Amino acid sequence: MKPRIEFRNANPKVMQLLLAIEAYLHATKLEPRLLHLIKTRASQINGCAHCLDMHTKDARAEGESEQRLYTLDAWRETPFFDERERAALEWTEAVTLVTAGHVPDEVYERVKPHFTEEELVDLTLAITNINAWNRLNIALRTVAGNYHPGMYKTLIAGAHAKQ
């Protein structure tokens, strides 16, 4: 597969803006492990090979188990995720698949006991940001396989310093 456009080079401002959101999210109360799970789950739903390559590698490098990553697509059927993670995964699916039900009230009611209002806003931002990354990478055909764990940490740190 060949990329259609190397968007990081064609318009670096887009990368800077999305990385600024990532930098903000890294400074929130949301656990890094939780962020990896929701980024991976949304990327599974959207079929973004580049993001799946990236987020599974980062998750593994930061101690996530292979078992949890391998079964993430079937999280409802496993005992490997705690209640907060399950709530985040359900929210991720509802927000990512917004056209399939406009994030139903029943989902919100199940999710809200596990997060403060601020955390729920941040979680929703994290989900919308990974969806933006997914759509850019899928539409412009970013090639998977070249990512190394932590590759963007310096860029994210730089974006955080600019805030």
Phi/psi of residue 119, nearest 5 degrees = -65, -40
pLDDT 10s digits, 135-154: 999 999 999 999 999 887 77
What is the b/e burial string over 52-67, where b = at least 16 CB atoms within 10 angstroms of the residue's CB?
bbbbbbbbeeeebeee
| Average pLDDT of span 4-20 | 92
Nearest-angstrom CA–CA distance, 72 and 120: 21
- Please say whether the beta carbons of 159 and 23 come within 8 A: yes
63 pLDDT above the threshold of 90: yes
Residue partners of 36: CB distance under 8 A and separation at least 6: 55, 58, 59, 62, 64
9 pLDDT above the threshold of 60: yes
Nearest-angstrom CA–CA distance, 33 and 143: 25
Domain boundaries, given as residue ranges, for the chain: 11-162
The confidence band for 160, taking pLDDT boundaries of 50, 70 and 90, is: low
Nearest-angstrom CA–CA distance, 14 and 140: 13
How many CA atoms does the CB half-sphere of 124 hold within 13 Å? 14
Q: Which fold has domain 11-162?
A: AhpD-like (1.20.1290)
Residue partners of 77: CB distance under 8 A and separation at least 6: 71
The tokens 């997060």 sit on which residue?
A: 115
Tell me the pTM: 0.93
- pLDDT score of 158: 72
